[in-house]
């Protein structure tokens, strides 16, 4: 009897060692090898995003981005629940559409903003906001968004940005009015939780939201001015997109030629090394400013 009872601790210890060795294999089998590879390369991908944001050669960036976007979508096939990858894809499609497609091909840009939105919307659902902003009532969606915490800020921001630009290119679509309301609900929550996210991007959104429409249709030039000023404060006047959108939307809507010319000139005269981490978006702003200022006499 003693010999049998004495063998139990050794048996239990061996079983524990076996289970301890087996557990990692079971966990590994629960994920595909592709998923493991995707997650193991996350830091390399992070560095690649930083490198792209620091690119000053627009032709090089334009040529490189499509392959990078398809790589991201390929990685998402292997790891569809990877929220950081979803947000990278949303940001990437937004940047590619805005920086390189929208001016030349608005129809293609619409499709790209739609893909951008689809990625961001999945990330938003993973953040706890499961209601669809396109089919939910305004009250339902606002209630759901109000429960979102700070961790949901990136998904809310990119969902609103992608959908907002899609709506902007589909102004002849009556459904766009309701969808624009949903984007405003998301961006107001971003302001409440972290107004500094993406260099004050939510303030930029509302600068355009209030500045790009006449007061009769919901515009408010004073509020737009305040949001543009706050965006400038947050990014210390290093994000040239603030000046670009101010000129393109608020100054044009006000028929303020002096402000239009002043803000675009500031962009064109800014140093290339204004902020290395914003090099690509600032280069895009310079390119678009050069196009806008050529049309100054047509608008004023």
Q: Residue 242 sits in a domain of what CATH number?
A: 1.25.40.920
Do 43 and 178 lie in a common domain?
Answer: yes
Residues 127-185 have pLDDT tens digits of 999 988 888 889 999 999 999 999 999 999 999 999 999 999 987 776 666 688 999 99
**Confidence band of 48 (pLDDT split at 50, 70, 90):** confident
Q: Determine the pLDDT at residue 15.
A: 43
- Contact predicate 230/203, CB 8 Å: yes
Q: What is the mean pLDDT of residues 266-291?
A: 96
Do 151 and 47 lie in a common domain?
Answer: yes
Domain-ending residue, one of 150, 174, 194: 194
Residue 283 lies in a domain: yes
Residue 10 lies in a domain: no
Which residue did the predictor score with more confidence, 13 or 295?
Answer: 295
Q: What is the reported pTM?
A: 0.86
Q: What is the mean pLDDT of residues 12-17?
A: 49
Buried b (16+ CB within 10 A) or exposed e, 63-95: eebeebbeebeebbebbeebbebbbbbbbbbbb
Do 59 and 72 lie in a common domain?
Answer: yes
Do 209 and 292 lie in a common domain?
Answer: yes
Do 165 and 202 lie in a common domain?
Answer: no
Do 74 and 203 lie in a common domain?
Answer: no
Q: Is the pLDDT of residue 226 over 70?
A: yes
How many structural domains does the chain have? 2
Most confidently modeled of 15-19, 117-121, 134-138? 117-121
Domain-ending residue, one of 162, 194, 226: 194
Q: Is the pLDDT of residue 74 over 70?
A: yes
**265 is in which domain, residue-wise?**
195-300
Residue 264 lies in a domain: yes
Cα 270–Cα 100–Cα 95 angle in degrees, nearest 5: 80
**Confidence band of 233 (pLDDT split at 50, 70, 90):** very high
Do 61 and 151 lie in a common domain?
Answer: yes
Q: Determine the pLDDT at residue 32.
A: 63
Residue 187 lies in a domain: yes
Do 160 and 229 lie in a common domain?
Answer: no
Residue 27 lies in a domain: no
Q: Determine the pLDDT at residue 6.
A: 42
Q: Is the pLDDT of residue 9 over 50?
A: no
Do 253 and 172 lie in a common domain?
Answer: no
**Confidence band of 45 (pLDDT split at 50, 70, 90):** confident
Q: What is the mean pLDDT of residues 213-224?
A: 94
Domain-ending residue, one of 194, 211, 242: 194
Which residue did the predictor score with more confidence, 179 or 249?
Answer: 249
Which spans in the chain are helix H? Answer: 2-30, 33-40, 42-53, 58-78, 83-96, 106-126, 138-146, 153-168, 176-194, 197-211, 221-234, 241-245, 252-254, 257-269, 279-294, 296-299
Long-range CB contacts (< 8 A, 24+ apart) of 58-63?
Answer: 58/99, 58/100, 58/280, 58/283, 58/284, 58/287, 61/99, 61/100, 61/280, 61/283, 62/99, 62/100
Burial class (CB in 10 A: 0-12, 13-18, 19+), 235: buried
Do 149 and 118 lie in a common domain?
Answer: yes
**Confidence band of 23 (pLDDT split at 50, 70, 90):** very low
Q: Mean of the per-residue pLDDT values for the chain?
A: 88
Q: In the chain, pLDDT over 90 holds for what percent of residues?
A: 74
Q: Determine the pLDDT at residue 60.
A: 97
Q: Determine the pLDDT at residue 190.
A: 98
Residues 92-118 have pLDDT tens digits of 999 999 999 999 999 999 999 999 999
Do 226 and 133 lie in a common domain?
Answer: no
First to last CA, the chain: 103
Residue 171 lies in a domain: yes
Do 171 and 80 lie in a common domain?
Answer: yes
């Amino acid at each position: 009897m003693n010999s049998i009872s004495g063998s139990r601790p050794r048996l239990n210890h061996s079983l524990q060692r076996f289970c301890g060795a087996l557990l990692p294999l079971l966990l590994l089998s629960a994920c595909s090898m592709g998923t493991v590879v995707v997650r193991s390369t996350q830091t390399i991908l992070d560095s690649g995003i930083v490198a792209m944001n620091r690119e000053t050669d627009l032709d090089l960036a334009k040529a490189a981005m499509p392959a990078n976007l398809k790589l991201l979508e390929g990685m998402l096939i292997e790891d569809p629940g990877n929220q950081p990858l979803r947000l990278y894809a949303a940001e990437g499609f937004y940047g590619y559409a805005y920086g390189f497609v929208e001016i030349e091909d608005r129809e293609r840009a619409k499709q790209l903003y739609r893909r951008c939105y689809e990625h961001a919307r999945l990330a938003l659902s993973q953040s706890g906001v499961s209601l669809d902003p396109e089919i939910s009532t305004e009250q339902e969606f606002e209630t759901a968004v109000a429960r979102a915490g700070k961790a949901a800020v990136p998904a809310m921001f990119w969902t609103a940005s992608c959908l907002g630009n899609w709506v902007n290119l589909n102004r002849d679509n009556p459904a766009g009015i309701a969808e624009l309301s949903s984007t405003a609900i998301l961006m107001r929550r971003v302001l409440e939780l972290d107004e500094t996210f993406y260099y004050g991007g939510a303030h930029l959104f509302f600068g355009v939201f209030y500045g790009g429409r006449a007061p009769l249709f919901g515009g408010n030039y004073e509020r737009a001015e305040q949001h543009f000023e706050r965006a400038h404060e947050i990014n210390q006047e290093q994000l040239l997109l603030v000046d670009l959108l101010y000129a393109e939307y608020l100054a044009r809507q006000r028929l303020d030629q002096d402000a239009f010319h002043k803000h675009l000139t500031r962009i064109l005269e800014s140093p290339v090394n204004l902020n290395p981490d914003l090099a690509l978006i600032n280069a895009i702003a310079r390119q678009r400013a050069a196009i806008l200022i050529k049309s100054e006499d047509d608008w004023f």
